[in-house]
Chain A
Amino acid sequence: MNFWPTVALVWSKDIRVELRSKDTLVTLVLFALVLTMVFTFGFASDPQTNLRVFPSVMWACVLFCGTLGVGRTFAREARDGAFTALVLSPAHRGAILTAKTLVNLVLTLIVTALTTPILAVMLRVDLTDVLGLVAGQLFLGAAGFALVGTPLAVMAVNARFAEVLLPMVVFPLVAPILIAGVTGTAAILGTIPENDPRPWFQLMLGFDLVYLVGGQFLFDKMVTE
């Protein structure tokens, strides 16, 4: 089976399974809402302060929800052993990784699309004029999370203390994405002197490409113990 048909097959299977069980999406949404409330009540202050903390709060939500989401990538399949059947099939393993990455990207984007407007309303930050730019950044950031976290989530299939191990490995690797995201959003909102977000977009795009190539290269080796 060719690459993209395999991607479509695995992606549609994962989405169908998720729509039936809803466990990852419900967990992510509830977790994101709790985070939103905690951050909002913790940081809400005068409008200027709110504007300054907004990028950090928004990206903290992406960080925690993204990590939680990727940690569950293979959990369900590993439980029943279906992951073994999947990787022992003749399917292109790069296609399996791509499908899983796209599932994580979709889930992270759904949660981000839910939390960002709530955060903006609660912190009274007006994103109307910069919505496209912020959405673009969030897309690149969510893609970075999915591209880093998905191949590394294979480690969580058999590892003990996987819940601890995965964030310890993922957090340092996504640090460039986070730094570019927070600083880029601050540039978009005009809360830092350098208000050109383009270098931060380019940095995120660059790291996304590095993660894409690295993940595709390593995944094949990682699934064989």
Chain B
Amino acid sequence: MAGEAFESVETQRVGRLYDESYALVDVSVTFRARTVTALLGPNGAGKSTLMGMLSTALRPSEGKVLYGGYEYPENDPTLRARIGYLGHRPMLYSELSATENLAFFARLHGVGPEAVAHWLGRVGLTRAADRPVSGFSRGMAQRLALARALLSSPSLLLLDEPFTGLDPEGVRLTKSLVAERRDAGAIVVLVTHDLAVTDDLATAAVVLRGGRLAYAGPSGGDLAGLYRDHAEAREKRAS
């Protein structure tokens, strides 16, 4: 199992209880390899909770998550080694330079030091390599965070709002790196509110509404339409 790419990641009736209310209820969905899946929904729909479960940071209160058809033991490092996660925050050390940050995470992931310069170049930060991250703009930090997530060539790439703070060039770069990872066989799950930017990247979509699954299937190249039909429509029905 270790080292092989996952063909799928599947949640089976997962739920997550916070205090006395559910953030996610009975969600069963499959994310497939070589596919970018857009995870959509309004604020509070449970997107970050689902991402947290997929990343192993959150434990499901109910149900289970299967990686490549296999339920890994809790806190299995071989599973964590195969997941790349880009969250809301940059998840970097602001006192360290870009090189030091990537070198640290490269060693934790067992990736050779040559990958550090490679990824700094790929995200266009070679000239800023020795500057502390505290002096980076939001966009530069986001690029470096993307490099950190991609450093270990993960089988499952989880991106939570990856386009935040990026200029058009940064958006183009991020999309090309994500597409590259997808073409290499990875499962990519991408949370975004920037639907127009993601339209040509995501071929599948999952829509959550109020912690429940509202839609799972092909995106049809129209994420805004899917969002309107499944997230907003439910909201109107509820009201």
Please indicate the chain A residues that have their CB under 8 angstroms from the CB of B58 in the complex.
Answer: 224-225
A128 at the interface (CB under 8 A from B): no
Residue of B nearest to A20 (CB): B95
Most B CB within 10 A of own CB, among A21, A82, A85, A220: A85
* Residue of B55, B74, B88, B94 touching A88 (CB-CB under 8 A): B55
Count of A-B contacts with CB under 8 A?
82
Please indicate the chain A residues that have their CB under 8 angstroms from the CB of B108 in the complex.
Answer: 1, 6, 9, 86, 89-91
* Residue of B75, B78, B148 touching A220 (CB-CB under 8 A): B75
CB <8 Å contact, A84 and B87: yes
Q: How large is the interface on A (under 10, 10 to 19, 20 to 34, 35 or more residues)?
A: 20 to 34
A13 at the interface (CB under 8 A from B): yes
**CA A81 – CA B92 in complex, angstroms?**
7
Residue of A nearest to B76 (CB): A90
Residues 48-88 of B, flagged 1 when their CB comes within 8 A of A and 0 if not, give 00001001111100000000000000110110110101011
**CA A16 – CA B59 in complex, angstroms?**
32
**CA A20 – CA B133 in complex, angstroms?**
13
Q: Which secondary structure dominates where chain B touches chain A?
A: loop
CB <8 Å contact, A17 and B95: yes
CB <8 Å contact, A16 and B96: yes
CB <8 Å contact, B110 and A1: yes
Number of residues from B at the complex interface, CB < 8 A: 33
Residues of A163-209 at the interface with B, using a CB-CB cut-off of 8 Å, are none
A87 at the interface (CB under 8 A from B): yes
**CA A86 – CA B85 in complex, angstroms?**
11
CB <8 Å contact, B59 and A80: no
A100 at the interface (CB under 8 A from B): no
CB <8 Å contact, B104 and A87: no
Residues of B116-150 at the interface with A, using a CB-CB cut-off of 8 Å, are 132, 148
Show the binding face of B for A, using Cβ within 8 Å: 52, 55-59, 74-75, 77-78, 80-81, 83, 85, 87-96, 100, 104-105, 107-110, 132, 148
Given contacts A81-B87, A86-B108, A92-B77, 7 further A-B contacts (CB under 8 A): A80-B89, A80-B92, A81-B89, A82-B93, A84-B87, A220-B75, A224-B75
